[in-house]
Structure 1
Amino acid sequence: MRDGQSIETDIATTMLDWYDRHARDLPWRTSAAELNSGARPDPYRVWLSEIMLQQTTVAAVRDYFHRFTTRWPTVDDLAAAPDGAVMGEWAGLGYYARARNLLKCARIVAEEHGGRFPDRYDDLIALPGIGPYTAAAISAIAFDRPETVMDGNVERVAARLYDIHTPLPAAKSELKARAELLTPRLRPGDYAQAMMDLGATICTPKSPACGICPLQSPCAARRAGTAPELPRKMPKTAKPTRRGIVYLACRADGAWLMERRPDKGLLGGMLGWPGSDWKDGAAGAPPVSADWSTLAAEVRHTFTHFHLVLTVRTATVDMGCAPETGFFIPNRDFRPSELPTVMRKAFDLCRER
């Protein structure tokens, strides 16, 4: 029988061989053929893709990634971009704190690192918006450093490979310790992407395709018949529903009354419509005296931790009105595409009435 170290080495070798044949073609990825010809991954594209992919699917990110890299091909280009333009391109991806940190990180890299991303985990994790997973992914994929990259796909593969039944998130430390044993010093970036591809295409959450899995032989959960039920997770609590009001006021010359949300919190720093707090029963005073109408349809939107239902009230206001809050944006400068999704939904309802 082979010792434990040789078994782990065999698993890494098997995964790299599988990746060379079956790697997904992704716009931010440098293929094995390109690497063999001397090309190196672009740290900017690796970083951008990893930030976009946080809590978002590959399918949803592709078009956003293409637009960003076409409009801002380098980190210096992105660092010089206006905040509103970047937020506008980000609209629809959600989790807007990521977009704010994206700009902060790009500007630090441009101004303090000469437009070059640092290559070590400790330096990467010090940058805005880069946590343990993203720092490990950039270090491994862009710079081929032997960091252990743990996303949901890799956690699922490790849980099944070792038949670990401790529920997430309590199992995270155990799963990472197991995954660290597998991470090779040779081609760690390709290995990390191989494990993510395996989880995304074969070792899927439901109905894993164990019959074609390159790790079917060493997989303890396959032998035990427990693969479909792993990894175990703590039961989810039901999301509460919150309610609020938004006020859409259009001046006689076509200007719209907007406000910029506080930097911290949901939709921080972004333009939106004045309105109430998002709490049940929160009325919120109108931002300006006017003859307000209430739309029959409501805005419905889901955030990470709650569902939101917004009542939409509209009014046309006089040129000389003085709002209690917010400021008017001339119609020529108003771009609905740059609004966060929930605010754009309210505008769309107003336009359709």
Structure 2
Amino acid sequence: MSAPLVTRLLPWFDQHGRKDLPWQHPRDAYRVWLSEVMLQQTQVATVIGYFERFIHALPILRDLAAADEDTVLALWSGLGYYRRARFLHRAAQICVEQHGGELPRDFDALRALPGIGRSTAGAILAQAHGLRFAILDGNVKRVLTRYHGIHGHPGESAVERQLWLHAEAHTPVTRVADYTQAIMDLGATLCVRSRPRCGDCPLAGDCIAYRDDLTAQLPSRKPGKSIPTRATVMLILRDSQGRVLLERRGPQGVWSGLWSLPEATDPDGAWRIAQQHAQIDDVQTLTPFTHVFSHYRLNIEPLLFDRATAQRGIADNPQLRWCSASELGALGLPAPVRALLLQINDAS
């Protein structure tokens, strides 16, 4: 089956493929790796700006390894799934310690690094070095699922094993980097989830989903389940200089290790926490909002304690700091917290 797919896909790529993405010039292992990790759960259009900012600040792997965690998280802030950034950071340090400051060209050695799975390792070796390794990201799963008419959610282990067999079979010996980019591009631009552009697809003649009018049903959706809702009260303690009190979150749970706002379960608890950190006169209830994670919704009630006077001891606590608006950009902050603080500063 590989010859028909490759012989149709590569000419389409030569004419319509994306060849001006920032990680393609140059297409070295570090840039490919960074882009692959950023593109997990995130669209290309969103990633481009983050990639350019990240690579400008940390242009080579050794720079990433030497950076402190706050710098890495600040550059990542807004992309979400911050565990990816921590894995990047730690993997870079391991590469300096064990691989001469470079990503290894050995598949098993790559997979042993934090955050690098089978598809990411294959993408690095295929795109940066032209080695014959298959990939199976979300776009490729969608293309192969429809092309071969595979039913069942692609995240199920049996379905994924079947898709990997097809991915391996279709990967050519030559032009591996172009093929890898081509099948990702096809999934991202034509074989999209909703309303795929089958009339423009070079694979439509052999596509089972197109033939059997199954493009709306394939890939099969993950069995649905209700998303729980949680609630929190965020404390915005702002002193007379306009600085806001931030608290570094613990190593577990959502936003682990990021700087955020102190939280409470209810307004009374918020008052008690506020009085532990500062002398306060009044409080203003701001407009509540909801932030949606992949596995739950978080209802956030912000309380603004303005003109607060810091209690003694905060300067001695490394998990607390008063931060001016100009300092926010250098810290890793959760996206909704950053947006909330910017909104408050703009309104001041």
| TM-score, structure 2 normalization | 0.87
Tell me which residue corresponds to 1:327: 320
C-alpha distance in structure 2 between counterparts of 1:310 and 1:207, whole Å: 35
C-alpha distance in structure 2 between counterparts of 1:174 and 1:332, whole Å: 51
Tell me which residue corresponds to 2:340: 346
Q: Is the 8 A contact 1:252 1:319 kept in 2?
A: no
Counterpart among 269, 273, 286 of residue 286 in structure 1: 273
Tell me which residue corresponds to 2:229: 241
Structure 1 residues 62-101: aligned runs within 5 Å = 62-101=48-87
Counterpart among 14, 37, 57 of residue 20 in structure 1: 14
User: Aligned residues: percent identity?
Assistant: 38
C-alpha distance in structure 2 between counterparts of 1:349 and 1:28, whole Å: 33
Distance verdict in 2 for CA 1:209–1:312, change over 3 Å? closer
Tell me which residue corresponds to 2:24: 29
Distance verdict in 2 for CA 1:349–1:16, change over 3 Å? closer
Q: Deviations over 1:143-180 (max 9, x none)?
A: 22222200111111111111112233232222222222
C-alpha distance in structure 2 between counterparts of 1:318 and 1:210, whole Å: 63
Tell me which residue corresponds to 1:34: none
Letter in 1 for 2:293: F
Q: Is the 8 A contact 2:286 2:303 kept in 1?
A: no
Q: Where does the alignment leave 5 or more consecutive residues of structure 2 unmatched?
A: none
Structure 1 residues 118-137: aligned runs within 5 Å = 118-137=104-123
Q: Is the 8 A contact 2:246 2:323 kept in 1?
A: no
Tell me which residue corresponds to 1:318: 309
Letter in 2 for 1:9: A
Q: Deviations over 1:53-101 (max 9, x none)?
A: 1100000001111111222211112222232222222111111111122
Counterpart among 250, 265, 269 of residue 253 in structure 2: 265
C-alpha distance in structure 2 between counterparts of 1:87 and 1:296, whole Å: 27
Q: Deviations over 1:302-325 (max 9, x none)?
A: 212111121122223325445698
C-alpha distance in structure 1 between counterparts of 2:128 and 2:100, whole Å: 17
Q: Which moved more, 1:61-70 or 1:321-330?
A: 321-330
Distance verdict in 2 for CA 1:282–1:48, change over 3 Å? farther
Letter in 2 for 1:301: H
Counterpart among 170, 173, 183 of residue 185 in structure 1: 173
Q: Deviations over 1:198-235 (max 9, x none)?
A: 11112222222222221122222222222332111133
Q: Is the 8 A contact 1:150 1:176 kept in 2?
A: yes
SS at match of 2:234: strand
Residue 109, structure 1, aligned to residue 95, structure 2: yes
Distance verdict in 2 for CA 1:299–1:292, change over 3 Å? farther
SS at match of 2:23: coil
Q: Is the 8 A contact 1:244 1:281 kept in 2?
A: no
Q: Is the 8 A contact 1:244 1:283 kept in 2?
A: no
Higher helix share: 2
Letter in 2 for 1:14: R
State the Cα RMSD in Å: 2.6
Structure 1 residues 46-57: aligned runs within 5 Å = 46-57=32-43
Letter in 1 for 2:91: C
Equivalent residue pairs, number: 336
Q: Is the 8 A contact 1:118 1:124 kept in 2?
A: yes
C-alpha distance in structure 2 between counterparts of 1:238 and 1:261, whole Å: 27
Counterpart among 281, 302, 307 of residue 292 in structure 2: 302
How far 1:335 moved relative to its partner?
Answer: 1.7
Letter in 2 for 1:15: L
Distance verdict in 2 for CA 1:124–1:300, change over 3 Å? same
Tell me which residue corresponds to 2:264: 276
Q: Where does the alignment leave 5 or more consecutive residues of structure 1 unmatched?
A: 1-6, 31-39
Distance verdict in 2 for CA 1:14–1:243, change over 3 Å? same
Distance verdict in 2 for CA 1:349–1:332, change over 3 Å? closer
Q: Is the 8 A contact 1:169 1:233 kept in 2?
A: no
Q: Is the 8 A contact 2:23 2:31 kept in 1?
A: yes
Q: Is the 8 A contact 2:249 2:255 kept in 1?
A: yes
Tell me which residue corresponds to 1:37: none
